[in-house]
Structure 1
Amino acid sequence: MTETSSKSVLRLTTIMFLFVRLFGIWMGGYEIYQGLKVKRLIKELQDGGN
């Protein structure tokens, strides 16, 4: 009984760890993308103002 439940706990822990890592990578990429959009918008506004 304990061997089976420890295997399922290990499996669940592994799945949760991978999910959290993938979510973190996705959010990090989204933040970088938003930062690039803001920089490009600022550059366009500066170029248009001159």
Structure 2
Amino acid sequence: MSEVTAYLDRHATKGAYVSLMADVPADRLYRQFGFEYGAPASVGMYKKYD
């Protein structure tokens, strides 16, 4: 994550919106790198086929 966020810090243009899907408990890791929860403004969604 350090390398990913360093890359984004160098290359993301102003106003860029970077999103990711985080399962618990990985959300705690991403919070350490400045990611925030999108809800309620945006919500991650999925459809699972068994």
Shorter chain as denominator, the TM-score bin is: under 0.3
Q: Which has the higher contact order (CA 8 A, sep 6+)?
A: 2
> Which of these two proteins has the greater Rg computed from alpha carbons?
1
Which of the two has greater helix per residue? Answer: 1
